[in-house]
A and B are shown apart, each in its own frame.
Chain A
């Protein structure tokens, strides 16, 4: 071991493990393979070949053959269906009608529409890709600056994983044994807060530089009300899912299946599905699911390696020895996430770090598991838009190809500032997250 002589096993494992995974990921090896490979080598080194061989047979089975996790393909299916059925246009037209004539109004309309779309879609990437195609051309038509327009879409897209349903919250719930229904309900208030702060950021930008967010003509009330009618199905879908979970009519797992079924009926009603398209929707759903689950299996293998090496205990005793206040620990974790978020892909960042931080934050320091889940999702949102590795920025760029990456980076900064304010508020007032789920029980 050479230079690592005398370093406790847990820290050696952490250095080898995280260093190895990060290096492989940055070189361009698929994330799942990097985590699975390093996890296997680590378990082999610490416990021996029998442990690796046993785990390689059992872990994929126990991970995948799970009733609770069926929520993932069902919410993915629902998201693909609502994206295909043209719901995004309906929501955007409505928001345009009500907000377009205000300062920076179309950008605000974009953010609010993203929030609305997030209420029926659990993925941030799908939200950005779908809303980007609808909102960007419209904002350009009214002379909006590309920086503000792309920032609004990329930031609005992050709402996809905060406002329920959310695939990331499901995975957090499964990884930590936290009630998924309560997590969903807890995401609502922070989601609304996010929309308000984004709109405030847009208002400030458009006030400082009116040419960035010009005013669109006022839409007559009759037209606005006509648009209001078109979003009926979306509201219904959201109410069925979230209302059903909130009032305990069905479990989040059942809600996902029912949500997918309603989205399917809606797509049929809109005549948005041919047989070929339906097959296509199903294929997209299952390959996306497969790619997600391989990452999940890899992350669990890696997590086993870290647990066998005793990293969570080592971290606990380090914090005890350093005598840092609970708030101090949260701020340190926040700093770690912000740095990691610049370089890591969001899903693997969440899956790799939560098993290590959760026992410390919730087990030792006594923070609420639901609050920490929302906190983790919010830092994950931040990682989706912080350069250089901000997935939403890339997706937006691939949808709207004639924007330079520099413009996109510049446009996102005010929204990153709004995210920072939101994180500070959530840390200072945990009740904003916890009030609704507490009312539920």
Chain B
């Protein structure tokens, strides 16, 4: 396993992370991806605050926060897809590199490139199908129960972000062709 761009997550004294979070792989052309991820991060903060206010409101003021449930649902969809492009360019997709660590450099880059190409195809396909699904939801006029947000809008926002993730895969391939490589294994769930 390689952790050439910042090492494992978490520890406060990790220099690459403290230095503005530019985990090494972020350069000027992936700045839009970084901005998207910051927006996703702020939505996570909103989610934290709205959940806490919802529970506090329920117990202390006898009035739960209106729409907190839906705010969480909608932000979930947007957080995941808005953070995806940065996760791609920072090589945070989970990879088992036990064998690929021993590849010659050129083969390692080829495998990484193929992986990203598959990713671009999958995210692109997903973006297209999400868009079509969103159109159908618009046609049926489906809205969320409390806040009455059109579901088609949420799905199509996810579609656009999935397309950006496909683009991020292409950007990462270009970076790879220019000589930056960084297979990386991270499994923060475990």
Contacts and interface: CB of A to CB of B under 8 A. Distances in A.
Nearest to B40: A286
Nearest to B100: A28
Contact of A250 (B55, B99, B133): B55
B138 interface: no
Contacts of A280: 17-18, 20-21
Contacts of A394: 1, 185
A31 B122 CA distance: 13
Contacts, number: 281
A55 to B, nearest CB: 8
B81 A29 contact: no
Given A27-B111, A258-B52, A286-B37, A347 B84 contact: no
A171 B90 CA distance: 24
A367 interface: no
Interface in B78-97: 79-84, 86-87, 90, 92-97
Interface of B is mostly: helix
A397 B3 CA distance: 10
A237 interface: no
A245 B115 CA distance: 41
A233 interface: no
Given A161-B190, A286-B79, A345 B96 contact: yes
Contacts of B93: 30-33, 291, 294
A79 B72 CA distance: 19
B48 interface: yes
A83 to B, nearest CB: 4
Interface in A217-245: none
A257 B69 CA distance: 12
Interface of B: 1, 3, 7-13, 17-18, 20-21, 34, 37-38, 40-45, 47-52, 54-55, 59, 69, 72-77, 79-84, 86-87, 90, 92-100, 103, 108, 111-112, 114-115, 118-119, 122, 125-126, 129-134, 154-155, 158, 162, 183, 185-190
Interface of A: 25-33, 36-37, 40, 53-54, 56-58, 60-61, 64-67, 69-70, 72-74, 76-77, 79-80, 83-86, 123-126, 128-130, 133, 160-161, 167-168, 171, 249-250, 253-254, 256-258, 260-261, 264, 272, 276-277, 279-295, 344-348, 380, 384, 388-389, 391, 394-395, 397-399
